Amino acid sequence: MLILRRIVFYTFLLLYLILCPGLLLYASGYIFDPLTREVARTGLIHLNSIPPGANVYLERSRFIQRTPATLEKLYPGDYRVTIELPGYRMWTQKVAVKPGKATAFDKVLLLPRDLSSKEVLEGVYKQIYILPGTDLLLAARSTELESFQLYNIKDNKAVPLVGAGSSWRSFSVISLFHEDESRSFILYGGGLWERKYLLVNVKGDAPVITDITKLLARDPLLIEWDPLEPDQIFAIYSDAIDRINTATAAVYPRDIENVKGCGFQNNRVYLMTADDHFIKYAHDKARVEPFLLAERFDPRILSRKVFYRIFAPEDNRVFLLGENGSLLSNHPPYGIIDKGVLGVKFNDHGRTFMSWTSSTIAVFDQGDEKKEAHGGNAIKTVFRTGQDIRQCFWALDASHIVCNDNDRILLIEVEPQGEEHSEFIAAVKKGTSIFFSNATGCVYFLDEGSRFQRIQLVPPENLVQKFLNERD
């Protein structure tokens, strides 16, 4: 009996000594590969879809769990992952699993198979003018103001921009100036021999139009203002900047001189002087402060003949967009793009921004401190096959981009890794604008028949946030 007990004891001890290290390794993400006869560290893939509850396939095998799902204990290598949900387009992606790493596709947007559009306003339209950061759009049947409708995307209502008795009904619009999140805009146009600038302030749904032509010394290169100070506008010329108070009709000519860059945000004016110094101050110049004292731009990448627009999400982190299409930063990588940049747009949190050329869209993650610390490049090109990219919008908390490329609406996924992923949404009228609203989740456009349409791309912002909160 004693001998039998010893046999059982040593048998269990031997099994413990053999299995325990294996169990510990398995719990730590290691697994034995019978093909190579080696212990390999595994990786995992996390998938979450909007809407949830979709089937997950790893190569040809269906995963038992539905989204949100985590595929664990995967050998390093490339896998084809597919997500399917009845009534929605299939999502598929090639994913590289790396040892000890987790790859998360946190907001896989599943598009309905039938992306039907709905008519916003009846009739045929020539153009829509967007006012980003607001709940307003302008829809025009012709270039004359009497044909302009001011459309509120939240309550789905439209009012004429000018009343029946307005003296501006026959005013012909050539271009529009607007600042993000501002309910004011400036229209440029008029007759061939008498061009005018009209300031339009929208208070509620009642537009108020003021002729500010006499306040401008000549045609400016740009007109900008801070949405927090809509009465203070800045007319930017090649040699100086005039400050104008539209409420009092006061003009401060050459209020800012010897500058080669400017930006207006956070109730501050940001300036780059001719000798490459940076200052900021309130609109009334009550307090002038230098900034970027320790983290100046490399003078070797600055052009003496280029005027720059300044974007300052933080005082110690500044970006310059040159009129030649160059994009520069005072942090690595310093010379982000040499030429061709058409636009820059930050997401709501200010830590990520995208830039686009006519053929590419790149995303720059300012929070990637490891790459920056080692002089690395935190830019990822998420779209390389554009034909004529003219507009881009962040969507779904910067996990997607809606763009207008060669009169096509595309939805582009900002993937953590893997191949380029874009979806065709709709064709638009040649040469017209589109607008995407995160608040409603809709893209607004003129179709090829000149009808004002909208398509629901993602759930409204409040529903998306509710879903994410419930998941957490």
Measured between alpha carbons, how far is 378 from 274 in angstroms, rounded to an integer?
A: 30
Measured between alpha carbons, how far is 59 from 418 in angstroms, rounded to an integer?
A: 15
- CATH 2.60.40.1120 boundaries in the chain: 42-114
53-73 burial, b for 16+ CB within 10 Å, e for fewer?
Answer: ebbbeeeeeebeebbbbebee
Measured between alpha carbons, how far is 363 from 351 in angstroms, rounded to an integer?
A: 11
Q: pLDDT of 428-443, one tens digit each? A: 999 999 999 988 999 9
Residue 385 burial (10 A CB sphere; 0-12, 13-18, 19+) = exposed
CATH number for the domain formed by residue range(s) 42-114:
2.60.40.1120
What backbone phi and psi angles, to 5 degrees, belong to 356? -140, 145
How would residue 37 be classed by pLDDT, with cut points 50, 70 and 90? very low
Other CB atoms within 10 Å distance of the CB of residue 326: 20
DSSP labels, 128-168:
EEE-TTSSEEEEESSSBGGGEEEEETTTTEEEESS-TT-TT
Measured between alpha carbons, how far is 119 from 396 in angstroms, rounded to an integer?
A: 23
Measured between alpha carbons, how far is 235 from 50 in angstroms, rounded to an integer?
A: 45
**Quick check: helix, strand or coil at residue 27?**
helix
Record the pTM. 0.85
Q: pLDDT of 173-212, one tens digit each? A: 999 999 888 999 999 999 888 899 999 999 876 789 999 9
Other CB atoms within 10 Å distance of the CB of residue 25: 14
Reply yes or no on whether the pLDDT at 372 is more than 50: no
By mean pLDDT, which of 119-123, 156-160, 220-224, 462-466 is the weakest?
Answer: 462-466
H/E stretch holding 371? helix 369-373
Measured between alpha carbons, how far is 359 from 450 in angstroms, rounded to an integer?
A: 26
Residue 77: alpha-carbon gap to chain centroid: 32
pLDDT at 303: 78
How would residue 215 be classed by pLDDT, with cut points 50, 70 and 90? very high
Measured between alpha carbons, how far is 55 from 401 in angstroms, rounded to an integer?
A: 25
Question: Tokens 């409204």, residue?
Answer: 460
Evaluate whether 72 touches 64 at the Cβ level (below 8 Å).
no
pLDDT at 285: 67
Reply yes or no on whether the pLDDT at 393 is more than 90: yes
Reply yes or no on whether the pLDDT at 353 is more than 60: yes
89-103 burial, b for 16+ CB within 10 Å, e for fewer?
Answer: bebebebebeeeeeb
pLDDT at 368: 54
Reply yes or no on whether the pLDDT at 284 is more than 70: no
